[in-house]
Amino acid sequence: MKVKAYIATERQVGAVEKRRCEFQFGGKPYPVTEKFLVYHDTRWGKPLHDDRELFAMLILEGMQAGVSWNLILEKEDNFRRAFDGFDPAIVAMYDEAKVESLMQDAGIIRNRRKVTAAISNAQAFLQVQEEFGSFDAYIWSFTDGQVVDHRLKDGDPMPAKDELSERVSKDLKKRGFKFVGPVIIYSYLQGIGVINDHSVTCEYR
């Protein structure tokens, strides 16, 4: 989610107003859907340590290239069904017949390069697990297990990438991962909670 965050409020039925981030992209308001708000409130910026979910988010972020995150969230359940719950051990074994089946699935993004990248990324993911014991241990090692909290204030620009995402991207590419450029990886690190870019006044941070 590559957005600029600042203060906003939400009026909830039967509840007090809660402050949350408001979203802009390229200086313009970002269209917020119900699923987007649920993602922001319950997942974005929250530390994630489950390997299957770390793999799921890596694939979903790669699928986002060239499209909106709203579209990815709208299709997320379809992606999870089509890709066997994002089990990397299963995805790594997909053959050409499975690729063709996925290319006929209207519920997902039918981009052959992204589909085949998911397979090669699953294979690379398994190699990382073997080397480090878990992908969780690997990805959190870049910050020594600590959350990078930028503590953004009203009007502060949100980076599209930074030194950390450049470093992680470079290492992932070296290991054979695809669709892992520094901008995608910055968004990924936000999504799995390595980076917390909630506004300091957001009550969902």
Distance separating alpha carbons of residues 159 and 54, to the nearest angstrom: 22
Distance separating alpha carbons of residues 147 and 150, to the nearest angstrom: 9
- Residue of 39, 94, 138, 188 with catalytic role: 39
Reading the block at residue 90, the tokens are 């299963």
The structure tokens 């009550």 sit at: 203
DSSP state of 35: H
Terminal alpha carbon distance of the chain: 15
Reading the block at residue 188, the tokens are 């990924």
Distance separating alpha carbons of residues 145 and 64, to the nearest angstrom: 26
- Residue of 69, 140, 188, 204 with catalytic role: 69
CA angle 112, 125, 2 (to 5 degrees): 65
Catalytic (active site) residue 69:
yes
Share of the chain residues as helix, strand and coil, in percent rounded to the nearest 5? 50, 10, 40
27 φ/ψ angles, rounded to the nearest 5 degrees: 80, 5
**149: which strand partners?**
196
- Residue of 61, 138, 140, 186 with catalytic role: 61
User: Would you name the residues annotated as active-site residues?
Assistant: 39, 61, 69
